Structure 1
Amino acid sequence: MVSTDSNSGTESRPNCPTIGIIGCGNIGGKQAANFLAHGYSVYVYDVNQDSMVQLQSLGAKVTQSCAELATRSEIIFTALPTPDDVITAVLEGEQNLSQGLQPGSVYVDITTNSPETVLRIHHAMEKLGIEMLDAPFNDCPVGTQSQQGMGLAILPSGSRETFERVEPILQLMADQVIYCGEISTGTRCKLIHNAVNAITVQAVSEGITLGLASGIDLQTIWDVLRLGSFGQNPGDIHGLPHYWFSRRCDDLSQHPAFTVKLLHKDLRLALALASQHDVCVPHLSLTIKDYEEAERRQWSDHSTTKVCCLQEERAGVIAQGSPQL
C-alpha cells in the first residue's frame, strides 16, 4: 500500500484551493504533475496504486478512496476511461466521491464521457448542493504544438458562475479554455471532435494507400497532402509519420496514450448522439465498422492508428518509411 505521506518538500501556494484528482493515467497524471509544479496542494486516487507512486514523489498526497479524497479537496477532477468508471467512482462504488463531498466544493469531470452520464451525475450533484462542470480535455499529440506543453484545449460546460469560479485553474491545463455552454455541451463537443478526427485519419489512409497502389512513392503523395489545402488545415495528417509510418501502432511496448478501444468507445457515444438527434452520419458509421473489426482482431490496446492497417490490407500496400516534413 502506498503511504499517504508525501515524499516531497514541495510547498503549496497560500490561499489556493486544494485539488483532488481521481484517475492518474495519461491525462489525470499529467495534470496532477502540472498542478504540483504550479505549487498547488494535490490529493490523488487511482485503483492502481502503482500509478500514484511517481506523483507522490512529486509531492502529491495519496488517498485510499474517492470519498477520502473528497473530504480533503476543494476542486475535484475525475479523469477516467469510461462512463461506467465515472459512475462507479462518483455515485455507486464503495466509498465513492459523493459520500465525502464537502459543502462549497466543485466537481469537474474531464473524462470523455457520455452526455447521459454527465446529466445523471449533475442531477445527483444538484441534490447534494455541489457545483459541477464537465470539461473534456483535448490532449496534445505528436504533430501539433502546445504552447504550454500540456494540451490544446479544455472544453468546460455548466453554469457560467461555476465556470468563472474555476477558470483560473482550467487556464493552467491547456492553451485554450473554450466555455461551451450548459452542462454536457462540452462532452458533446468532444465526441464530435473525436469523430471528425477518426474519420479524417481513415480518409488520409485511403488517399495514401491509393497513391502507393497506383505507383506513387510515399514521399510524393505525402508532400501533396501535407503541402496542399488539406494538409494546411486538418492537423491530423502531421502526426502520421510518428504514429503510423513508423509502425509504432504495431508495437504494444510503445505504450500508446490513446488506444483503439478508447476511441471506439468515443465513436459509439458520438453515433448515439447522432441517433438521438436523428442525424445521418454515414462516414462515422463506416469508420466505426473499422473499429469494430479492429476490436475483433484483438487490437484493442494498440494505438488508434492501428486501424489504418485495415485499409492497407484492402489496398494491398503498406505505408512505412520516414517521409520528410
Structure 2
Amino acid sequence: MNATSTRLYDPTPSKSVAFLGLGVMGHPMAGHLVSAGHRVTVYNRSAAKAQAFVAEFGSTGRATSAATPREAAAGADIVFCCVGNDNDLRSVVLGANGALAGMKPGAVLVDHTTASADVARELYTAARNLGLQFVDAPVSGGQAGAQNGALTVMCGGDAAAFDAVRPVAMAFSRAFTLMGASGAGQLTKMVNQICIAGLVQGLSEAVAFGQNAGLDMNQVLDVIGKGAAQSWQMDNRGKTMVADRFDFGFAVDWMRKDLGLVLDEAKRNGSRLPVTALVDQFYADVQRMGGHRWDTSSLIKRLK
C-alpha cells in the first residue's frame, strides 16, 4: 500500500492543479493531491517519472501528464513546483514552454523548491507582470514528511494568493504558514537549515563521544531524549547514527546546496554564521568520503 492511500483528507472543493517535478518529494506530494480529489496534471524532465506517476494514480481518472510545463499548467487553478535549484526552477517557470506561459489569468504558482530569496522575488515579479500570482513555499519534513502528508511549509507572498492555495496544499502539509512578503518563505527555510546544521553536528559529537566512552548509546539516547537535549534529529537520527546507517533521508549534496544559499544570503544581510560555515565544510569532507547521497546525519562519519 502506498503512503498516500492511508491519509484522511478534509473535504476541499476539487481543483484543477499541475505539479512540476516528481522527485522524492514531488511524487508523494502530487499523489496526496490526487488522493484528496484534485485533478492533477504532472510534468517531469524525465518523462519516465511522469509516466510512472500516471500508472500509479491514473485509475482514479484524476492524474494525467504533459510534455512541457506550459502544457501542464494550461487551465490549472494552481501550479505546484518542486525541483532542484534556482536554475532548474527558472527552466520550468520561464520561457516559451515554461509554466507562466501557459497559466490562466489569476492562477497561482506555488514553488516548493528550496531556492534563493532572490529568485523567489524575481518570479513573483514575473508572475505579477502577467496577471498571475506566485508564492514561495519551501518545505521541511523530508521524504518521510512528503510521504506521510505531514510537511511544514513556509510561505512568502501575498495574503490573497496564500489563502487561495492553503486548503489545497493541506493535502500534503501539517502546517502551511504565511511568513511575510515574497522571499520570506525561502528566508525562513534558511533559518531552518542553520538550526539543523548545528544540531546534527552536536548530535554527531555526542554520539561519537559516548561510543568512545564505552556507553550503550541506544540506552543513552533513550534517557537524554526525555530531557533538555531532545530534538527531532535525536529522535529520528540518533539510533541510525549509532548503527552507522545513512542510506536514506536528506542527502548531503542537497544540504550543501541549501547551506550555500544560507551563506550567500548571510553575506548580503551582514549575518555572522561561524558554526554554519564550519559545518558546511564538514559536509564537504563527507562528500570527499563519497557520501554525496548519504543522509545529513552522516556528519558522524568524520569523527570515526
TM-score range, shorter chain: 0.7 to 0.9
Cα distance, 1:164 vs structure 2? 1.2
Residues 81, 112 of structure 1: 8 Å contact kept: yes
AA at the equivalent of 1:52: A
Q: Distance in 2 between matches of 1:240 and 1:15?
A: 38
**Structure 1 residue 303, shift from structure 2 partner:** 2.0
- Residue 237 of structure 1: how far off its partner (Å): 0.4
Q: Which residue pairs with 1:277 in the alignment? A: 269
Deviation at 1:95, TM superposition (A): 1.6
Say which SS state the counterpart of residue 202 (structure 1) adopts.
helix
Aligned position for 1:129: 131
Deviations along 1:294-319, one digit per CA (max 9) or x if unpaired, are: 2233321222222320122xxxxxxx
Deviation at 1:141, TM superposition (A): 6.1
Q: How does 1:168-247 map to 2 (within 5 A)?
A: 168-231=167-230, 234-241=231-238, 243-247=240-244
2:94 partner SS: helix
Task: Return the alpha-carbon distance in structure 2 between the equivalents of residues 227 and 208 of structure 1.
Answer: 16
Residue type matched to 2:74 in 1? T
Please state whether the residue corresponding to 2:106 is helix, strand or coil: coil
Distance 1:156 1:48 in 2: 28
Q: Percent identity between the aligned chains?
A: 23
The CA distance in 2 between the partners of 1:294 and 1:239, in whole Å, is 20
2:70 is matched with which residue?
67
Shift of 1:214: 2.7
Alignment partner, residue 299 of structure 1: 291
Which residue is equivalent to 1:33? 31
- Root mean square deviation of aligned Cα: 2.1
Q: What is the match of residue 317 of structure 1?
A: none
Matched, 1:89 2:92: yes
- Tell me: CA distance 1:263–1:47, structure 2 relative to 1, closer, same or farther (3 Å): same
Structure 2 unaligned segments of length 5 or more: list them. 1-10
2: distance between equivalents of 1:282 and 1:308? Answer: 19
C-alpha distance in structure 1 between counterparts of 2:227 and 2:269, whole Å: 35
C-alpha separation in 1, matches of 2:70 and 2:39: 17
Q: What corresponds to 2:8 in structure 1?
A: none
Q: 1:83 to 1:242 in 2, by over 3 A?
A: farther
Deviations 1:205-235 (A, max 9, x none): 111111222333323432343122111xx22
Please say if residues 195 and 266 of structure 1, whose CA atoms lie closer than 8 Å, have aligned partners that are also in contact: no
Describe the superposition over 1:14-43 as per-residue Cα deviations: whole angstroms up to 9, x where unpaired: 963201000011221111110111111000
SS of 2:114's partner is coil
| Structure 2 CA distance for aligned equivalents of residues 246 and 55 of structure 1 | 34
1:168 to 1:157, Cα distance in 2 relative to 1, 3 A: same
Q: Which residue identity does 1:305 align to in structure 2?
A: S
For the 8 Å contact 1:202–1:308, the answer to whether it is kept is yes
Q: How has the CA–CA distance of structure 1 residues 202 and 15 changed in structure 2, closer, same or farther, with 3 Å as cutoff?
A: closer
| SS of residue paired to 2:42 | strand
- For 1:106 and 1:141, locate their aligned partners in 2 and report how far apart those are by CA, in whole Å: 25
Compute the displacement of 1:153 (Å): 1.3
In the superposition, the TM-score normalised over structure 1's length comes to 0.82
8 Å CA contact 2:200–2:299 kept in 1: the answer is: no
Q: Distance in 2 between matches of 1:193 and 1:209?
A: 24
Report the CA distance shift for 1:127/1:243 in structure 2 as closer, same or farther (over 3 A): farther
String of CA shifts for 1:26-77, please: whole Å, max 9, x gaps. 2211111101111110000001122123320212201000111121422001
> Aligned pairs, how many?
288
Q: Structure 1: which 4+ aligned runs deviate by more than 3 Å?
A: none
Change (3 A) 1:245 1:50: farther
Name the residue aligned to 1:20. Answer: 18
Partner residue of 2:250?
258
**Corresponding residue for residue 260 of structure 2:** 268
Q: Is the 8 A contact 1:140 1:150 kept in 2?
A: no
Tell whether the 8 Å contact from 2:217 to 2:242 is kept in structure 1 after alignment: no
**Structure 1's 46 and 36: CA in aligned 2 closer, same or farther, altered over 3 A?**
same
The answer to whether the 8 Å contact 1:139/1:150 transfers is no
Larger radius of gyration: 1
TM-score when normalising by structure 2:
0.88
